[in-house]
A and B are shown apart, each in its own frame.
Chain A
Amino acid sequence: MTSRPDPDELVRRVREEERKKTRGRLTIFFGAAPGVGKTFAMLEQAGFLRDVERLDVVAGVVETHGRFETTTLLAGFERLPRRKISYGGTTLEEFDLDAALARKPRLLLVDELAHTNAEGSRHAKRWQDVEELLEAQIDVYTTLNVQHVESLNDVVAQITGVLVRETVPDAVIDAADTIKLVDLPPDALLERLREGKVYLPAQAERALENFFQEGNLIALRELALRKTAERVDADMQAWRREHAIEKTWAASDRLLVCIGPSPYSANLLRVGRRMATSLRARWFAVNVETPATLRLGASDRARIVQNLHLAEQLGAETVTLNGENPAEEILRFAREQNVTKIVVGKPRNARLRDRLRRSFVDQLILRSGEIDIYATVGELEEGASEAPARIPSVKQDPRAYVAAAAAVGLATAVAYALFGRRELADIVMIYLLAIIGVSMRFGFRASLLTSILSVLAFDFFFVQPYLTFSVSDLRHVVTFGVMLLVGVVIAGLTQRVRDQAEVARRSERRTAILYAMSRELSRMEGLGAIVHVAARHLEQVFESRVAILGAKSGELNVDYATAGFVPPLDKEGGVARWVLSHQREAGLGTATLSGSSGFYTPLVAPGAEATALGVLALYPEEPARFADPEQQRLADAFATQVATSYERARLADETERARLQIETEQLRSTLLSSVSHDLRTPLAVMKGAASTLLADDAKLTGAVRKDLHHALLEETERLDRQVRNLLDMTRLESGAVRLKKEWYPLQEIVGATWSRLEARLADHPVTIRVDADIFVRVDNVLMEQVLVNLLENAAKYTPSGTPIDLIAHPGDTEVVVEVADRGPGVPDDERERIFDKFHRGPSERTRAGVGLGLTICRAIIAAHGGRIWVEGRQGGGAIFKFALPVEGGPPPLAKLPEIPERGSEPEALRGPRQGASSP
């Protein structure tokens, strides 16, 4: 039976392939114990590549431990100088990552993958350095012992009794391209030990002697072999999947491991990891927050955080659930996610409470249905205490106890007033009321006290013999007992209700925050608004100062920073850039550059993983805040929101640009077709006339010849005008025209226009009324253009002999110029469109002339801050009007001195009388 390939899996593989193409190749020389010869093998192999294949190989960091053969081999390599870090009075030498990245060899040798870097290094662990090297497309050879594998760490500790603290996550090892097992049989290894060829640091000698027992070595060797076999098996599976995809994919088991603050959780996680690997299953690590766990102490919370981190490193998906009953929550989640197996820790000692109520494990087993439950046990982490976390109870306000007593007193008084000493049952009810009241307000302990006090008061005041604590009728003891029990139960219930409400409130608040922000963001347009809204929410939620850095062509700009806050980019700019290029978090609370003052997370929109849009930086008032992975995850969720909004804004921009481009294209094609027609027509006439004059010269009469000559000249002028218009329009649109505005007497511009057009306007009587004292501040060349276009239009579209009037009206705020004709006029519905590009009225289709004249006028007038329009005229015709704003008056004329006359009186200088006064 063939099953469908899991689409997630396929996508993952493709992504994996993609990544592999652009990453360096990692080769791990893997061994069971120190001394088997991993470094030696690595150097040998590298040497071969260097000599025979002529590869550029550099030794980044290689530990020879003083062994002669190793040192000799190493001598043949270029060595990278170490980085010196001074730490607490001593100088440590560490691997220099930056130097390696700068040197960029083809292959770099980096010994001891599990090594922990000294403080002050960029990354906490050497394997992280190696990750960065691989991403920079540098191939790496490295060495690793089996005890450094994260998921095997506890097994090795079991075998050897030595707990190794430096581990490498399985994900890194699994992602390596090649694992070479360097195998040495245990007796050979012991032989070498005796010969002194294995380096043992002096202090650890005794411990390591225990380590190097034959039994241990055999077991370790088996572990190493098995791990390698697993890897080979995985490779084979992969090959089979690629080549025969119908072959079943692993029936998807899904695993769930329950973790809590208990120190056993770490073991559980490793067990979970091993199971998940062998089942090739996805697995979850789930932590349930109950009202009780909310009250855990700091160290326990820290352990939960650690466990969650470990889970992530081991490759689990971590989830935090909220609820009251952990078993119920876990089972609900498990059913939702189709979990098939759940791993829990076996309880170590039975506790009294567990005997009364079903323990967590029991509940889980009972209600698991078809899900398998694995209860395992494991060794403790060294240094962890055995005692399970004690959950402290809520501190009681001392006033609560006073209130309890007061309530009882009040109840007693009321009961007595109402019932005297009869109706004992009703009196009990009054006391119950008191208990309920106190428990709703004051919590468990106070209500417990109230219960006890109520019983005592009841006994004392209402049960015979009165005013004593003795009881005459033994049946009343039952009453007391029931009262006490009810009181306790009520107290417990109300406490629980309050706790539940608290949990629900918290988780609701978190969701509400995220929802509020995302809703507001979805309404925002424009990057600026988005950034502000997001930052505001972030500042509130995380109680931090916020900086949002946008990436533009690889450079980061501060798009937003909390008011008054300057993000420390001079010191931490490198962190931000690292986050941008590696698309991973760094800073506070992470494993990379945790000494920074901020938490940096990349802004990556889902679906656009190729490029990071920027970096979100949070600087909390309380640096410990981001140690909690829940906060980190929340920050991630926010970052995704912001990134999505950024992406949206960017896409909106692109859409706009695309739209503009389409419009421009359309316009261009219209222009082209128009132009080609309107240029060809005069050219056709010119060619026709010229060729006739040439070819048929002899046959032409004088009149015809003259006519053809005229046509030729006219058409050249028409062509000239077309070209001029086109050029003007192009220049205006491209913004190449810069207005040179100066003060001109309007009359002069009109006069120049007239001189230019006199011949063209010969067919029409033209009246010009422009006072000499009207001044305008314009670009005269462009203004002349406007008048020329208007007058030419008037001449073109009105019958010969009809008058054309050009009149200027001065005013306080603007000067209005009108060109009026007695032509057919402009119909109402065309009054707006007539100014559009290429517009020509239906009657004008046959006439030549690209309809640009009025468009140019409008552009020029608009550039001067004026407006242009057309009106109808009484008695027929059209009046084209434009208005130019008058900004102040021309400067006084006194600048040019009057020239003194010899002997005669100099005339007083007359200043210009403007129609326009200064606004």
Chain B
Amino acid sequence: MTQGPLVLIVEDEPQMLRFLRGSLSTHGYRLAETTTGAEGLAQTAARNPDVILLDLGLPDLDGIEVTRRIREWTQIPIIVISARGQDEDKINALDAGADDYLTKPFSVGELLARIRVALRHLAHAASGKEEPIFAVGELRVDLGKRQVFVQDSEVHLTPTEYRLLTTMIKYAGRVVTNRQLLKEVWGPPYVEHTQYLRVFVGQLRQKLEPDPAKPKFLLNEPGVGYRLKMP
């Protein structure tokens, strides 16, 4: 049996470790545990894990700093764990290169979902293959032909809306910060135009979601960004 993916946990609270250890090992993940940022960096280099779970409230190093340092030399997916009310930290970590986040308290279902998404992206990146078709719910996007279908009827998107959609597909399952989205769709000069981004996403939602007020896949993560739900 192939060994499960290696998850590096950087968490100083023993109760959290207990929970993570229990749930992750049950689902077939291998675990490496560290309790400080410095140790985390060292273990990342030494053992090259498949995904890193990083707590933002570490005693020694700022979680954002750790993220930045890891990103200096590797693209290993990082999922940051933050406490409620630390929106700033979350966003900064994501902007610094983290891939996703979890807010305490979270359920094991959320945890596993995030890890799965992260690993999938890793796999895609590694294989270098691009998926030609993306589908979730009633939405189907043919990336090769640049066509978008909702319940099999074609929807016409403006070039901006299309670019927006494809960017979100690129990050499918993961959270994309407003900043990232603005940068990738419109370019670096527009990274502060969050208010306008919302309008565009709203328009996109109008076109793609059956009930835009009850979104099924174009999800908003308040204060952080957006997430395109994975099938």
Find out whether the CB atom of B213 lies under 8 angstroms from the CB atom of A770: yes
Find out whether the CB atom of B220 lies under 8 angstroms from the CB atom of A912: no
In addition to A748-B202, A749-B222, A755-B220, 20 A-B residue pairs with Cβ atoms within 8 Å of each other are A743-B195, A744-B195, A748-B205, A748-B220, A750-B213, A751-B212, A751-B213, A751-B220, A752-B221, A768-B214, A772-B205, A780-B222, A781-B87, A784-B222, A891-B195, A893-B196, A896-B190, A896-B193, A898-B160, A899-B163
Name the B residues within 8 Å of A748 (CB-CB): 198, 201-202, 205, 220
Name the B residues within 8 Å of A772 (CB-CB): 202-203, 205-206, 212
A520 within 8 A of B: no
Closest to A782 in B: B222
Closest to B218 in A: A751
B84 within 8 A of A: yes
* Proximity bits, A781-809, B CB within 8 Å = 1, else 0: 10010000000000000000000000000
Find out whether the CB atom of A751 lies under 8 angstroms from the CB atom of B214: yes
- 19 A-B pairs with CB atoms under 8 Å apart are A716-B105, A744-B195, A744-B198, A745-B198, A749-B220, A751-B205, A751-B212, A754-B215, A766-B214, A780-B223, A784-B222, A890-B195, A891-B195, A896-B193, A897-B186, A898-B160, A899-B160, A900-B159, A912-B199
Q: How large is the interface on B (under 10, 10 to 19, 20 to 34, 35 or more residues)?
A: 35 or more
Closest to B158 in A: A907
Find out whether the CB atom of B194 lies under 8 angstroms from the CB atom of A742: yes
Name the B residues within 8 Å of A763 (CB-CB): none
A106 within 8 A of B: no
What is the distance, in angstroms, from A766's C-beta to the closest C-beta of chain B? 8
Closest to A775 in B: B199
User: Which 4 A-B pairs have CB atoms at the shortest separation, nearest pair first?
Assistant: A768-B213, A901-B159, A745-B202, A907-B158
What is the distance, in angstroms, from B192's C-beta to the closest C-beta of chain A? 10
B29 within 8 A of A: no
* Proximity bits, A84-95, B CB within 8 Å = 1, else 0: 000000000000
Q: Contacts A716-B105, A742-B195, A755-B219; is A896 near B200 (CB within 8 Å)?
A: yes
* Proximity bits, B159-187, A CB within 8 Å = 1, else 0: 11001000000000000000000000110
What is the distance, in angstroms, from B100's C-beta to the closest C-beta of chain A? 16
Q: Which of A745, A751, A897, A900 meets B199, CB within 8 Å?
A: A745
Chain A stretch 889-919: residues in CB contact (< 8 A) with chain B: 890-891, 893, 895-901, 904, 906-907, 909-910, 912
Looking at chain A's contact residues, the main secondary structure is: mixed
A330 vs B220: C-alpha distance when bound (angstroms): 94
* Proximity bits, B134-172, A CB within 8 Å = 1, else 0: 000000000000000000000000111001000000000
Find out whether the CB atom of A895 lies under 8 angstroms from the CB atom of B196: yes
Find out whether the CB atom of A752 lies under 8 angstroms from the CB atom of B222: yes
Q: Contacts A749-B222, A751-B213, A755-B215; is A899 near B87 (CB within 8 Å)?
A: no
Name the A residues within 8 Å of B163 (CB-CB): 899
Name the A residues within 8 Å of B87 (CB-CB): 781
A332 within 8 A of B: no
Q: Which of B84, B190, B193, B212 has the most CB of A within 10 A?
A: B212
A453 vs B201: C-alpha distance when bound (angstroms): 113
B211 within 8 A of A: yes
What is the distance, in angstroms, from A656's C-beta to the closest C-beta of chain B? 33
Find out whether the CB atom of B159 lies under 8 angstroms from the CB atom of A751: no
Name the A residues within 8 Å of B186 (CB-CB): 896-897, 899
Name the B residues within 8 Å of A650 (CB-CB): none
A505 within 8 A of B: no
Name the A residues within 8 Å of B203 (CB-CB): 772, 910
Name the A residues within 8 Å of B160 (CB-CB): 896, 898-899
Name the A residues within 8 Å of B214 (CB-CB): 751, 754, 758, 766, 768
A724 within 8 A of B: yes
Chain A stretch 724-762: residues in CB contact (< 8 A) with chain B: 724, 727, 742-745, 747-752, 754-755, 758
What is the distance, in angstroms, from B126's C-beta to the closest C-beta of chain A? 30
A769 within 8 A of B: yes
Closest to B87 in A: A781
Name the B residues within 8 Å of A713 (CB-CB): 107
Chain B stretch 73-109: residues in CB contact (< 8 A) with chain A: 84-85, 87, 105, 107
Closest to A745 in B: B202
What is the distance, in angstroms, from A200's C-beta to the closest C-beta of chain B? 87
Name the B residues within 8 Å of A755 (CB-CB): 215, 219-220
What is the distance, in angstroms, from A754's C-beta to the closest C-beta of chain B? 5
Find out whether the CB atom of B159 lies under 8 angstroms from the CB atom of A898: yes
A896 vs B197: C-alpha distance when bound (angstroms): 8
A770 vs B215: C-alpha distance when bound (angstroms): 12
A51 within 8 A of B: no
A720 within 8 A of B: yes
A781 vs B88: C-alpha distance when bound (angstroms): 13
Name the A residues within 8 Å of B196 (CB-CB): 893, 895-896
Closest to B216 in A: A755
Name the A residues within 8 Å of B202 (CB-CB): 745, 747-748, 772
A673 vs B46: C-alpha distance when bound (angstroms): 53
Name the A residues within 8 Å of B200 (CB-CB): 896
* Proximity bits, A763-778, B CB within 8 Å = 1, else 0: 0001011101000000
Closest to A898 in B: B160
Name the B residues within 8 Å of A768 (CB-CB): 211, 213-214
What is the distance, in angstroms, from B182's C-beta to the closest C-beta of chain A? 8
Name the B residues within 8 Å of A770 (CB-CB): 213
Name the A residues within 8 Å of B185 (CB-CB): 899
What is the distance, in angstroms, from B208's C-beta to the closest C-beta of chain A? 12
What is the distance, in angstroms, from B57's C-beta to the closest C-beta of chain A? 17
A716 vs B213: C-alpha distance when bound (angstroms): 28
Find out whether the CB atom of B84 lies under 8 angstroms from the CB atom of A724: yes
Closest to A770 in B: B213
Q: Contacts A781-B87, A896-B186, A897-B186; is A747 near B212 (CB within 8 Å)?
A: yes
A758 vs B211: C-alpha distance when bound (angstroms): 14
What is the distance, in angstroms, from B103's C-beta to the closest C-beta of chain A? 11
A754 vs B199: C-alpha distance when bound (angstroms): 19
* Proximity bits, B29-40, A CB within 8 Å = 1, else 0: 000000000000
What is the distance, in angstroms, from A770's C-beta to the closest C-beta of chain B? 5
Name the B residues within 8 Å of A896 (CB-CB): 160, 186, 190, 193, 196-197, 200
Name the B residues within 8 Å of A743 (CB-CB): 195, 198
A406 vs B217: C-alpha distance when bound (angstroms): 115
A899 vs B200: C-alpha distance when bound (angstroms): 13
Q: Which of B190, B199, B213, B220 meets A769, CB within 8 Å?
A: B213
Q: Which of A747, A758, A912 meets B213, CB within 8 Å?
A: A747
Chain A stretch 503-519: residues in CB contact (< 8 A) with chain B: none
Name the B residues within 8 Å of A909 (CB-CB): 158
